[in-house]
Amino acid sequence: MKNGISALLLGTALALGAGSAALAQDKTIKIGVLTDNSGLYSDLGGAGSTLAAQMAVEDSGLAAKGWKIDIVSADHQNKPDIAVNTARQWIDVDKVDIFMDVLNSGVALAVNNLVKEKNVIMINTGAASSDLTNAQCSPNTIHWVY
């Protein structure tokens, strides 16, 4: 089930990213899976989320159409400051376009502010804070969770 949802969300992310003029010109998208690889939520996300994103990229068939889709992954350790520092590095230096997973509400809310500021996309599939769809709603974040 997680792989199916991840594939659906990755497809949405690719469609959103492909709609950007800059991405459409060079056909390159970089996806950052910012997840919990070592803590409480690692069984819900972790390496499985990164693998699911890789599988979804393969299933998309976009590589055969000339697209280059790179995936990077990091452990946010359930700490908003670590997550934001990683996300900022990914955006400013590594040119990540789309963030996936982002388990943990505190982490997701912190990253939500950054993706809005930097005008990139976050597809949140793990944090259940209603603030992501209410008080902290952003046109840069898709909140897909139970």
Residue-wise pLDDT for 2-53, tens only, equals 444 455 556 655 555 555 545 556 788 999 999 999 988 888 888 999 999 9
Dist CA 28 CA 14 (whole Å)? 10
Outline where the chain has alpha helix (H).
2-18, 21-26, 46-60, 80-92, 105-118
Instruction: Check if the beta carbon of residue 122 is closer than 8 Å to that of residue 112.
Output: yes
The answer, yes or no, to whether residue 86 has pLDDT greater than 90, is yes
pLDDT score of 2? 47
pLDDT of 63 = 86
Average pLDDT, the chain: 85
| Structural domains of the chain, with CATH | 2-18+27-143 (3.40.50.2300)
Contacts of 85 (CB under 8 A, 6+ apart): none
Are the C-beta atoms of 109 and 129 separated by less than 8 Å?
Answer: yes
Alpha carbon separation from 78 to 16, 20, 34, 37, 64 (Å, rounded)? 27, 31, 10, 9, 36
User: So what's the pLDDT on residue 33?
Assistant: 95
